[in-house]
Structure 1
Amino acid sequence: MSQPPQSPDQDPAPEAPTAPEGRTSPGWPAPGASWPAPSDWTVTTPASHPEWTAAPQWQQPAPAVAPPPAAAPSPHGRRALAGAALAGLAAGAVGATFLVTAVFAGTAEDIGRGMAQEFGPAISEGVRDGMVEAAEEEMSLYEDEFMSEDYGWYAGGPGGDVEQFPPVEPEDLGPDEVLDEYAQSCFAGEYQACDDLLYESPPLSAYEEYASTCGGRVKEYAVPACTELE
């Protein structure tokens, strides 16, 4: 019986393995029965020119923006900061002053009371003496001027040397009835009434002015007393 021709490229089918002596062969299927011949295989080759898709267009990244430079501190800002610092120092100084005042206020009051009790009488006495001396000096100057020749008052001067005039009747000297009676008596020639009117009348009043002239008979304060005219 003849065998089919075999292709020179085809290897002969492998023989089934036989079991060694004394052993049973395993139940493996015979090779080559279910495998196709190499001639039936199709060789696939990749296409000579594969279709490649174009690469995506990437946008150029935008350049990084540099941050703006920090603004230099203005002189006004520095002045404002300096002013705020000075204001803070001033407020602290004022607060410290109030604190010290509050702490030492009681002590100062105690010291002041002690000094007032110790020096108060001496100061009061000195002020009183000074006022008395000033008043005495003022009166001395007033008397010297009052007794001068400008007013006709001089020591030892006789009343007959004073120029005299006719008496003048008093008119509307004031509302005081007693002083009005003195004025009428002075006008009638009672020189003592003229002197009483001078001492009883208010200062710088019309009564005083009338009495200083002895009822209009002499100039104002020409004589120290109207009784010297008798």
Structure 2
Amino acid sequence: MSQPPQSPDPAPDGPTTSDVPTAPDGQSAPGWPAPGAPWPAPAAQPEWPAPAPQPDWAATTPTWPQPAPGVVPVSPVAGGAPAAASPGRSAARGRWALVGVGLAGLAAGAVGATLLVTAVFSGTAEDIGRGMAEEFGPAISEGVRDGMVEAAEEEMELYEDGITSEEYGWYAGAPGGDVEQFPPVEPEDLGPDEVLDEYAQSCFEGEYQACDDLLYESPPLSAYEEYASTCGGRVKEYTVPACTELE
């Protein structure tokens, strides 16, 4: 009996049949390509220069001038007197004290001057008012009196012009016949005016022009005017336009 042919022995380093992958249908899978050449070695890195040395800050720091020592207030020592204040503070306090004293003196002086001016002005105003009253008082009284006299004269002129005209029947004589006359009455206590008193006395003695003058110069509604309007008590008030008509 003959034996089947034997396959040659596989190479010792080659893969066996069981190690070769097979396709699903039992066929042998194609072989993978062998790996390519290896990667080239990296190029050499350039050498960087060494860093510059750092500066020594302590050695290069400038030296600043130290400030002058100030005056430091010393706290009071326990059990002893307090330390003296600095000369600057003492001088400042002294100046402020002088300023305060000066302001107080200025305020007191202003108040005193105001009171003095007020007192002087009050006294001066009183003196001025008193002097003006003494100077202008008589002139004002005389002006008022003259105005009243002028008004009385104008009123009397109008009265004479109207009553003695022919319209009222007083032409060349009193209306309605003779005027009733009475004995004269002596004037008594008519007023303090000496001039008017002389007119009244002359009117009483029979000087009829003095009666008319007294009427013109007497203050309105005064006892002088009432006495003159009666011609010294010889007729009723304002019965005749002028006392000279009785002559």
TM range (shorter): 0.3 to 0.5
| TM-score normalised to structure 1 length | 0.34
